[in-house]
Amino acid sequence: MTIETSDRDSLAIALAGLKGLGVGWWRVLDPKTTWWSPGMYEIAGLDPAAGVPTRDQIFRLYHPDDTNLVGRSWRRMFETDEKVQIRYRIVRPSGEYRDVVNWGQRQPPDAEGRRWVFGMSVDVSDHVDDRELFESERAFRFVAEHTSDMVVRSRMDAGITYASPASRAVLGYSPSEIVGMNPAEMVAEEDVTRIRAILRDRIARGELISPTGYEYRCRHKDGHFVWLEANPRLVLNGAGELTEIVDVVRDITARKEAQAALVLARQEAEAASSAKSEFLANMSHELRTPLTSILGFSRLIGRDGGLSEADRGHLDLIRSAGETLLAVVNDILDFSKLEAGALSLAPEAFSVAELGQGVVALLGGQADDKGLDLSCEAPAGSWLTGDAARLRQVLLNLVSNAVKFTEEGSVQVRLDVRPTTDGRAVLEAFVRDTGVGLDPAQIEQMFDRFTQADGSVSRRFGGTGLGLAISRRLIGMMGGEIGADSDGRSGSTFWFRVPLAVAAAVETHPITGPDVGPERRLRVLLAEDNPANRALIAALIAPLDLDLDMVENGMEAIAAARAGDYDLVLMDMQMPVMDGPSAARAIRSSPGPERDTPIVALTANVLPEQIEQCRAAGMQGHVAKPIDPRALFAALGEHARPLRQKAAAA
């Protein structure tokens, strides 16, 4: 559209004859209009006799919604050599609206060195199809120029052909700067291949408009990268080739930074939780290991007899102190697991009567020592399905507290099973004592963690103040409720209600020790690094007349298992040289018959994830320290009996 200077006057005379066609020509010399053809006056509805309007008068002709668009197009025409095309509306002095298409381009300097713009305007108001196209494009540009998202049009053969004003806020480039750039050169190199693959896939599936966008990094004008989210509309030619992309691009840098901060915070929280769990595990191990010797040997000495009354009293104090310390350790671990959401329930069928009678039998000695009448009333023959161990823990806590805080009188335990309309049942437990009364504020406070009735209670009776808080959490996990009633003067009733499934009666047999069979003595390998614990375990199982070999670490356990014909391996978890899980995995992967030898963890590691580590390493059982002889005998009986029968058959 460049016009030589020598042709300007003759061209202007020729174009002046286009009057009445709705076509006008103009020449503009910044900052004022220098010439209009007669057609321009017709389009604007102005009288040529009034002279060429000033720049301000011309801008007042533009529709208010289109003034920004026209202003930007004039700047592009005067600042670049582009041929600029726009569509806009004018408002004639009569109030009539007209739709206009405008082309313009900067020309070479005139004789005085001034740059000027030459262009053409066409009134398309009477062309219905063109008017609809104009309205569509005008709406597009209106949205593009008033949204914070960057709107970009790119052609495969020409780069970026249009960028909305938001490009300055998103990438630091003005629209005129970004036009003509190759989008691929702006995108992070490692993202270009991925984006091209996404576009190829969309073309292959015929998905020109996708409901989901993609994210990538783009270089800002100042050099740093920003995260963008694109939702492109693909334009194909008749051959199905990509020719143009119309894209709406959103800056998501803040969102990506927030996501990264969230991931970091989660990692830090998980690391803190892991550190806490590791600390609890180590503390549990370090506390349970000496308690194993304290409680184990006190039981052995008491079992052997021959002690004076004074020595037996001292021994009872040692055992009582050890059991109290163990209860404190268990409370802290249980509460920590509840706080971390790591404690799970293990439902099983249980006898309601045995639940209550077992707790009363366990605390009967303490009640007798204080002269209290401890009794239990429970329905015979009632069986339910629930976590019997946790229910026993809660009931034991309530009854133990009642015995502890009652100086005279009685503690009555009553269990009821109330059927429900859905075929299930509600287990109700009531523990009534004649001890000190509690007011309502004390009752609610006592179920909070680390809290007891008052400051003097903990000094007088001891304890962590976690028992009732743990009980409330456990009953809550089961879908039940727990509370207490008192008149505030004498006596209290603590209770809980739990909905459970009804179960059929299960036949039980007492554990009497392992069935070793008559063919040969049972051979057991013990891997334990603590000398006191080795001596204790040897003493506990000595009455069973077993052959027991002992090693001090996992490496020695592997060598012994390969060399000996053992029926069972008792494996500690934490040992020097090689730990228990590593040794168990090595034995399981051995080519010899030892790979089938049952392995039972005998350890102070009692957290759920630690027990799962034992099973994952190939161990069949788990016996916790401090060692309960009944649990040890149960493990020996469960895992040794099948092998004895197999050996007899062979």
Per residue in 278-308, pLDDT (tens digit) is: 676 677 667 777 777 777 777 777 766 677 7
**Sheet of 599-603, strand order:** 547-551, 523-527, 568-571, 599-603, 621-624
CB atoms inside a 10 Å sphere around CB 602? 27
Whether residue 218 sits in one domain with residue 157: yes
- Closest Cα partner for 253 from 307, 198, 188? 188
Cα 194 from Cα 192, distance rounded (Å): 5
What is the distance of C-alpha 611 from the center of its chain? 24
Tell whether the model's pLDDT for residue 103 goes beyond 90: no
Whether residue 20 sits in one domain with residue 136: yes
Question: Please, which residues have CB within 8 angstroms of residue 153's CB and are 6 or more apart in sequence?
Answer: 160, 161, 162, 163, 244, 245, 246, 247
Query: How would residue 475 be classed by pLDDT, with cut points 50, 70 and 90?
Result: very high
Whether residue 403 sits in one domain with residue 365: yes
Instruction: Say which DSSP state 518 is in.
Output: S
**Sheet of 32-36, strand order:** 32-36, 23-29, 116-123, 97-107, 83-91
> Has residue 438 been placed in a domain?
yes
Whether residue 498 sits in one domain with residue 354: yes
Name residue 460's amino acid: R
- On the 0-12 / 13-18 / 19+ scale of CB atoms within 10 A, 306 is exposed
Whether residue 140 sits in one domain with residue 32: yes
> Has residue 510 been placed in a domain?
no
Of 300, 321, 339, which closes a domain?
Answer: 339
Q: What is the mean pLDDT of residues 18-29?
A: 73
Residue 103, domain CATH: 3.30.450.20
Q: What is the mean pLDDT of residues 379-405?
A: 89
> Has residue 270 been placed in a domain?
no
Residue 362, domain CATH: 3.30.565.10
> Has residue 272 been placed in a domain?
no
Whether residue 355 sits in one domain with residue 317: no
Whether residue 435 sits in one domain with residue 333: no
* Per-residue pLDDT at 280: 67
Of 339, 372, 407, which closes a domain?
Answer: 339
Token duo for residue 541: 């199982």
Tell whether the model's pLDDT for residue 153 goes beyond 80: yes
Question: Please, which residues have CB within 8 angstroms of residue 513's CB and are 6 or more apart in sequence?
Answer: 544, 633, 636, 637
> Has residue 103 been placed in a domain?
yes
Cα 490 from Cα 512, distance rounded (Å): 45
Q: What is the mean pLDDT of residues 370-378?
A: 93
Least confident of 85-99, 108-122, 210-224: 108-122
The residues that bridge with 155 in the sheet, in sequence order, are 159, 244
Residue 625, domain CATH: 3.40.50.2300
Whether residue 127 sits in one domain with residue 89: yes
Of 145, 173, 194, which closes a domain?
Answer: 145
> Has residue 28 been placed in a domain?
yes
Cα 425 from Cα 121, distance rounded (Å): 88
- Closest Cα partner for 445 from 469, 462, 424, 422? 469
Whether residue 535 sits in one domain with residue 407: no
Structural domain containing residue 228: 150-251
Query: How would residue 140 be classed by pLDDT, with cut points 50, 70 and 90?
Result: low
Specify the 3-state DSSP secondary structure of 73: helix
> Has residue 273 been placed in a domain?
no
The residue written with tokens 């208010």 in the block is 64
Least confident of 47-51, 198-202, 317-321, 435-439: 317-321
- Closest Cα partner for 28 from 136, 139, 121? 121
> Has residue 271 been placed in a domain?
no
Structural contact between residues 600 and 575, judged by C-beta atoms closer than 8 angstroms: no
Domain count, the chain: 5
* Per-residue pLDDT at 275: 72
* Per-residue pLDDT at 137: 55
What is the distance of C-alpha 50 from the center of its chain? 75
Whether residue 116 sits in one domain with residue 46: yes
Whether residue 638 sits in one domain with residue 597: yes
Structural contact between residues 202 and 212, judged by C-beta atoms closer than 8 angstroms: no
Whether residue 357 sits in one domain with residue 488: yes
DSSP conformation letters of 138-176: HHHHHHHHTSSSEEEEEETTTEEEEE-TTHHHHHS--HH
